[in-house]
Structure 1
Amino acid sequence: MSGHSKWSTIKRKKGENDAARSKVFTKIGREITVCVKESGPDPSSNSKLKDLIAKAKASNVPNDNIDRVIKKAAGDGDKQSYETAVYEGYGPNGIAVIVEALTDNKNRTAADVRHYFDKFGGNLGTMGCVSFMFERKGVIIIENDGIDEEKVMDDAMECGAADIDYQDDAIEIVTDPADFSAVRQALEDKGYTFASAQIEQVPSTYTALTDETHISKMNRLLEALEDNDDVQEIWHNWENPDEE
């Protein structure tokens, strides 16, 4: 998974201000709300909810916030209804981008996303125009702060991981999407904590940008998308967008 930029994105987000972190909490809360309404509030019988709780904790969402969202979604306190929407397009110089959203107004969200692509040198495409370049994989990231890499490999493989990749300051464990929940839980039971753990859209190839204008526009496109409350995840094949 050379060129995979998730870890550098996590490091950048860890340094964000309180307002930016609050936006992350809001987005995860929306995911939890939809999950609870679809499959119930008990993580022992709702594996997706269990994964989202782990994701929230990895993003430093306080336990009280998580419990509050679950209780509100399980009761009658949250009347908001969200739909899943996925958009595909190209950023500057043909960078492939997939945008996943949860929205209460698809027309508004589609217009916003189209506007961002147009404004920053890209274009919104049709469904399927770039998704063939990506593969869904479970990705678990553990900060490498001096832990025994050989032990991590043995534990990961014992827990059912498909692959493992060592980076300078992180270890990336890859699973089949169907095995993700079980592998994450098994590693958690062994005492591991995660910088990130979720199903991702991983590109098969990456594209580098060398033109400073393209780099600036791509950064601004990602910032605009991330700032939109409806946008949950952004996947792209821009190689090493953040300095390691």
Structure 2
Amino acid sequence: MAGHSKWKNIQRRKNAQDAKRGKIFMKHAKDIYIAAKQGGGDIDMNASLRLAVEKAKADNMPNDNIDRAIKKATGGLDGANYEELTYEGYGPGGTAVMVEVLTDNKNRTASEVRHAFSKSGGNLGENGCVSFMFDRKGYLVIDQAETEADEDTVMLEAIEAGAEEMETVEGAYEIYTSPEDFQMVKDALEASGFQFVTAEITMVPQTLSTVDEAAGNQMIRLVNMLEEMEDVQDVYHNMEADDEIMAQL
């Protein structure tokens, strides 16, 4: 994972959340819906649902909204049926892009995603065209300001908990796990008193694609267009550019 850090992106997004709270709650509701639909509505028995609810609560989503999403998924309320889809393509400068969506109208979503790629100098591709360039990983971030433990202590605790790797970046410790061990590592570190800025299953690029300023700015436009879409849950890419451009992501 050397060279890859999501920390600055997470900081930027958290600072912008107040202006997008409605869309954020909608995305959390869809995550909760899918998790409950696939694994049932019991949080204690469904690790995916528990993680989705924890992320929603971290963004101050009201409990009523959370309960409503679970009830919709388990038949307690009428509601739309959502489908999980992943779109893959090439962004400006040949970058690899993956877009995860939850949608109740895949024709509408496909059209919107394709439009974003074409407007930003990219191309929507076939399934599998870039996914092999990414690894699915558990991802945990500990804010250095929120813990008294030093780097060696955090690393030892993470390794003992079952983590695969830890990186120290500006202001934070980034911990990576296998998807299967994510919940185990998270629970163990929480039991040791650590709190997380973020905890999620994500896609990590195996290699980075360096682009120039022009392609980098086009890539910013593509990511922003995709993230503004109601159906889009996550956007992953392997772009590497100068700090000024990367700070906009």
Which TM-score applies when normalising by structure 2? 0.90
User: Partner of 1:81: helix, strand, or coil?
Assistant: coil
**Aligned CA distance change for structure 1 residues 144 and 21 (closer, same or farther; 3 Å):** farther
What's the offset of the Cα at 1:57? 3.2
Q: Report the more deviating stretch, 65-74 or 220-229.
A: 65-74
Q: Which ranges of structure 2 fall in alignment gaps of 5 or more residues? A: none
CA deviation vs aligned residue, 1:159-188 (integer Å, no higher than 9, x gap): 111111110111111111111111112222
Q: Which ranges of structure 1 fall in alignment gaps of 5 or more residues? A: none
Q: Report the more deviating stretch, 51-60 or 80-89.
A: 51-60
Q: Report the more deviating stretch, 72-81 or 9-18.
A: 72-81
Distance across 1 between alignment mates of 2:206 and 2:174 = 16
Q: Percent identity of the aligned residues?
A: 49
Give the aligned length: 243
- Whether 1:242 and 2:246 are equivalent positions in the alignment is yes
Distance across 2 between alignment mates of 1:111 and 1:81 = 19
Which TM-score applies when normalising by structure 1? 0.92
**Aligned CA distance change for structure 1 residues 17 and 184 (closer, same or farther; 3 Å):** closer
Q: Is the 8 A contact 1:5 1:239 kept in 2?
A: no
Q: Is the 8 A contact 1:133 1:205 kept in 2?
A: yes
Q: Is the 8 A contact 1:139 1:175 kept in 2?
A: yes
Q: Is the 8 A contact 2:17 2:24 kept in 1?
A: no
Aligned to 1:139: 139
Aligned to 2:77: 77
CA deviation vs aligned residue, 1:85-123 (integer Å, no higher than 9, x gap): 110001100110000111111111111100000000000
Q: Is the 8 A contact 2:72 2:79 kept in 1?
A: no
What's the offset of the Cα at 1:63? 4.3
Distance across 2 between alignment mates of 1:58 and 1:151 = 26
Q: Report the more deviating stretch, 85-94 or 233-242.
A: 233-242
Aligned to 1:88: 88
For 2:16, the aligned partner's letter is E
What's the offset of the Cα at 1:42? 1.1
What's the offset of the Cα at 1:75? 4.4
